[in-house]
Chain A
């Protein structure tokens, strides 16, 4: 691992850029050429260069909406993971709760959550609380599923050890089950982090209140296609960054706890 990163540090910048980003560069260049070649109207399809221009020209609009979406995503992510982990702990303590909950969560984790947005909007109202609820639901399921399996997979022999040492249920949870669940929780975090922002954006798009999804819907309806694409580009970058950052956290946690 260290040797590999040493090598990557020694590659010339251009080689590194091409090796790491050939796919994305290819995509952007193809997009630019395609729009120019077809001489599309910018209302139909702007070039990536034009989108970048819009991003630079109106930073205030983007910043305002990004902060709203980001706040909802972060808050929902934290709440969803807390609820998921909390219920997993309840299921760990009680075989009855685990028996009742497990099939339901399997059922729900295969549900296309996007289809639930209109229903939740009808129940909670067309505002930010619905966006938040969607993010909580999206992040709840991976947290519950991964935390449950993590709590139940301690290092070999350690459960016997705790029993012989006369450990209480609480100390078993605190000193064995929870630390063993950390790598799994980190995986759940990685999966949920990128999805939190995208889910918030879809919900905002449907709800039409505020945030990046709203900006996208509004500018698209007003034929400000460049700004609509700008909103998407910002969401893409944040979501990809969240995915990468969460991946880094996951590697650190796995290193620490296993």
Chain B
């Protein structure tokens, strides 16, 4: 099987003022994500999970080991505009409307704006009627919907989500999880989700990878058995609760 994302013995060391060896954020970490697979990386803050995503996004270079996306270096993939990304900071441009924010990746890639695709995505993320609104007129949850629509608009080969709902309140966050589950079921793109919420990871992913910090490494991998499409009923099942307890234990150890 050819992995969509292949991380092979990756290490990342950051230089630190006053320390000769710096900080080891990731150590010898290996992880493969299959095409069309949704993997959630779960870990406490500071465990290096965001660094892992930044390696795949080519925002950082590994100091050891290799990272590849569809067999190529991440930098090449991003130069071909084939990565989709959403951050905890929605990173919407305040001077652009909802429509223009979603159209931005087309313009950056120098491609013609596919209006039909934007209309479909705005529909999919439930923002019809808000096309001309500006980010500051939207609620936190709506901004993240725009941010996810923007991540999907170029039909990327790989979708990278760095705690996209981390700044939302618990109720909105749950709603957004349901939405993302529905959106992802419509077009199954290889996805790497960084989160510190066990519920979120179990509800959304095909596989959950638990990391521990200093240096960051994988301590546990769990396949998620629930059939898709999933509804919130899944979260009330006994199996779900058992796995939540199990993973919470793995996080604490």
Contacts and interface: CB of A to CB of B under 8 A. Distances in A.
Say if the two chains contact directly (CB < 8 Å): yes
Interface of A: 155-158, 160-167, 171, 175-176, 179, 182, 256-258
B93 A164 contact: no
Interface string B92-113: 1111000000001101111000
A258 B108 CA distance: 21
Given A175-B107, A175-B108, A160 B87 contact: yes
A258 to B, nearest CB: 5
A175 to B, nearest CB: 6
A165 B95 contact: no
B91 interface: yes
Contacts, number: 66
Contacts of A163: 57-59, 78
A166 B78 contact: yes
Contacts of A256: 95
A108 to B, nearest CB: 31
A161 to B, nearest CB: 5
A168 B114 CA distance: 20
13 contacts: A155-B94, A156-B89, A157-B87, A158-B91, A161-B87, A165-B83, A165-B154, A166-B80, A166-B108, A175-B93, A175-B104, A179-B95, A257-B94
Contact of A164 (B88, B107, B160): B160
B40 interface: no
B80 to A, nearest CB: 7
A165 B91 contact: no
Contacts of B83: 164-166
A161 B93 CA distance: 11
Contact of A171 (B85, B91, B108): B108
Interface of A is mostly: helix
Interface residues of B, number: 26
Contacts of A158: 91, 93
When A and B form their complex, which 4 residue pairs have the shortest distance between CB atoms, in order from nearest? A157-B91, A157-B89, A166-B78, A164-B85
Contacts of A182: 95
Contact of B81 (A160, A165, A176): A165
A57 B160 CA distance: 73
Contacts of A156: 89, 91
B79 interface: yes
B89 A162 contact: no
A257 B136 CA distance: 11
A155 to B, nearest CB: 6
Given A157-B89, A160-B59, A165 B94 contact: no
A163 B139 CA distance: 26
B105 A157 contact: no
A165 B59 contact: no
Nearest to B110: A171
Contacts of B90: 157
A33 to B, nearest CB: 51
